[in-house]
A and B are shown apart, each in its own frame.
Chain A
């Protein structure tokens, strides 16, 4: 056993209100710079929808992630040792700015400076790349809230395998449904971006598993951009370097939650440490599709198990981090309750950001145009859910419904349980029956309810001590830092000639 710790995340989709506060927090802190205008390390997309970059989940187009080759070996879809030579000059699977959008601003000065004329002056849209007039074609959330739905959302790759009836069900009048999918880098256990980099510029931090790009080693070979199936590495067109979400490591190292987590209005985000067995990574990444979710769970170790604690200690994991792992909200969602699932695990990068799939809103039966709340259908069953299970299965279960049904069943049971507790118009026996069917005890149902609805900042973010005094060693010799504290020189990223 080779125990490592990983800062992991849960996003509770039922709570996301799609306000984009997270994206703006991230943009303001990290990507409001030349070359990075188009980047949204954190973005929020409407589902069903095509997302950002457009149709990022269509791996026939983008060739992201891993695949099994004819000899059953795991290989990177977009590149490999043999293909790195021809691909380095021109990467055939590299998305271009057209797949994202061309960033623009408005010529506000014209509102003040326009000469007097017959018409009101306007602020024309201008490209942030060239400064020329731009005919805006797309934006990072172009199909937000199902804007232009029929045209855009119909291209969502997760609709694959849905029957015509199920598709109709998604957007029929008065049953129309959508939800939000906030996305950041998943800081995967088997990151494709890292494995693809010819220069070895990308790496996973040993202590906390954060995936970073060494800006001084990146040479713009662009393999990572093509390889990441979630399209969460971005090419900075100005500096000629790739960039990605850094999980706000400078904030984490000082005990603060990442900017998007901290600012999240819906409080949907949870962060905590998971311990896992790095020796079994390869074995799990190779499992058949329908075993991947379970396989990934089997990598994650119980931080209360004395044997695991001993193993972690001998692997050099500080006690402070082990303690933090024992309180991790992520462990509860992913392991204790199994209601948080990895996105598109069939890409085989073993993402460490998990999603609690959203329940559709409570719906009444419509009879003769009247809303009818009969007791029995107060909460519709999973199969009457407005978002078909198959859709969630495509997103969170590698196409298999089992794990999604299980997670949904538990959430439904919590609703029945709480209804019986607070409103009382559901009798205890019914609630207990639902709990039993969902494999849930009353205690766990209460705990899920509490961590979902009544969670404080401290409940949501259990940030391990990151030992900044050691972390600094990766960037600079501590003696050098000590000698120059307060007077060190930091230069802006200067593009080569």
Chain B
């Protein structure tokens, strides 16, 4: 297979397949099996190490994911912010710190699941595949940050246009194909995770509760009144 075909497959076909699967299957699962949408918490079965695994992982992953979204949505603003070296350093170090937090948390999640026989019972093969994907993804993300520094800037200049081109249905792979293999791996795995998402426990991210913050404390439901 020529490099060109491979690139087209990895950075055009695969992203569309994964995104399509994501939207179709999350909606399908929500409509057909809404019962299966759950964070599947295991705190009840093991409460001693739970905090030290789940909490750092989530704070880490939430900040890191949010960072990717910001760079994707407002690349120019980000570049302007980074134009000042001190601000660049602060941003990069913060991002790296949260990346490490994710990695440590995720390792904790995996170790906890391996070491508690009760939690192991509620860990499915899907979970193990997902943890492996997330671990490689976080690992490659941290390596990228260390080996190819100032990612917040090169993401804004190179990755954001590529992602936008995918979204605008006129894929332009020139920027990504020039990237080193470790970054390519990170991109491909990101799309794979998105495609795998609807088949995993990750769907809990889509049902995070927001009305709670402004609803009245008590909830009453009446027959026939929706």
Tell me the A residues contacting B by CB distance below 8 Å.
81, 84, 88-92, 94-98, 129-130, 132, 190-191, 194-195, 197-200, 202-207, 215-222, 225, 235, 237-241, 467, 470-471, 473-474, 493-497
Let me know if B158 is at the binding interface, CB within 8 A: no
Let me know if B143 is at the binding interface, CB within 8 A: no
Let me know if B85 is at the binding interface, CB within 8 A: no
A98-B47, A222-B41, A471-B223 are known; give 19 further A-B pairs, CB within 8 A: A89-B54, A92-B51, A96-B44, A96-B45, A96-B46, A194-B217, A194-B219, A197-B212, A198-B212, A202-B219, A203-B220, A216-B35, A219-B38, A219-B207, A240-B38, A474-B223, A495-B40, A496-B203, A497-B127
Task: Report A33 CB to chain B, min CB distance, Å.
Answer: 14
Partner among B201, B207, B220 whose Cβ is within 8 Å of the Cβ of A204: B220
Compute how far the CA of A147 lies from the CA of B121 in the bound complex, rounded to whole angstroms: 33
Q: Give the chain B neighbours of A241 by CB distance below 8 A.
A: 35, 38
Q: Give the chain B neighbours of A237 by CB distance below 8 A.
A: 42, 44-45, 118, 122
Tell me the B residues contacting A by CB distance below 8 Å.
33-47, 50-51, 54-55, 58-59, 117-118, 120-122, 124, 126-127, 199-201, 203-204, 207-209, 211-213, 215, 217-225
B35-A129 in contact (CB<8A): no
Q: Give the chain A neighbours of B58 by CB distance below 8 A.
A: 89
A132-B117 in contact (CB<8A): yes
A129-B212 in contact (CB<8A): no
Task: Report A187 CB to chain B, min CB distance, Å.
Answer: 13
User: Which residue on A lies nearest to B57, using beta carbons?
Assistant: A89
B35-A221 in contact (CB<8A): no
Partner among A94, A198, A202, A467 whose Cβ is within 8 Å of the Cβ of B209: A198
Compute how far the CA of A250 lies from the CA of B88 in the bound complex, rounded to whole angstroms: 63
B212-A200 in contact (CB<8A): yes
Compute how far the CA of A417 lies from the CA of B202 in the bound complex, rounded to whole angstroms: 67
Compute how far the CA of A215 lies from the CA of B215 in the bound complex, rounded to whole angstroms: 20
User: Which residue on B lies nearest to A102, using beta carbons?
Assistant: B118
A493-B35 in contact (CB<8A): yes
Known: A84-B212, A203-B220, A497-B201. A235 touches B40 (CB 8 A): no
Known: A89-B58, A496-B36. A470 touches B224 (CB 8 A): yes
Task: Report B21 CB to chain A, min CB distance, Å.
Answer: 14
A222-B44 in contact (CB<8A): yes
Q: Give the chain B neighbours of A216 by CB distance below 8 A.
A: 34-35
B40-A200 in contact (CB<8A): no
* A-B pairs with beta carbons under 8 Å apart, 13 shown: A90-B50, A197-B219, A198-B212, A200-B215, A204-B218, A204-B221, A206-B222, A220-B39, A222-B44, A470-B224, A473-B223, A496-B33, A497-B36
Q: Give the chain B neighbours of A129 by CB distance below 8 A.
A: 45, 118, 121
B45-A97 in contact (CB<8A): yes
Q: Give the chain B neighbours of A235 by CB distance below 8 A.
A: 41, 44
Compute how far the CA of A89 lies from the CA of B120 in the bound complex, rounded to whole angstroms: 19
Task: Report A199 CB to chain B, min CB distance, Å.
Answer: 5
Known: A200-B212, A473-B224. A220 touches B38 (CB 8 A): yes
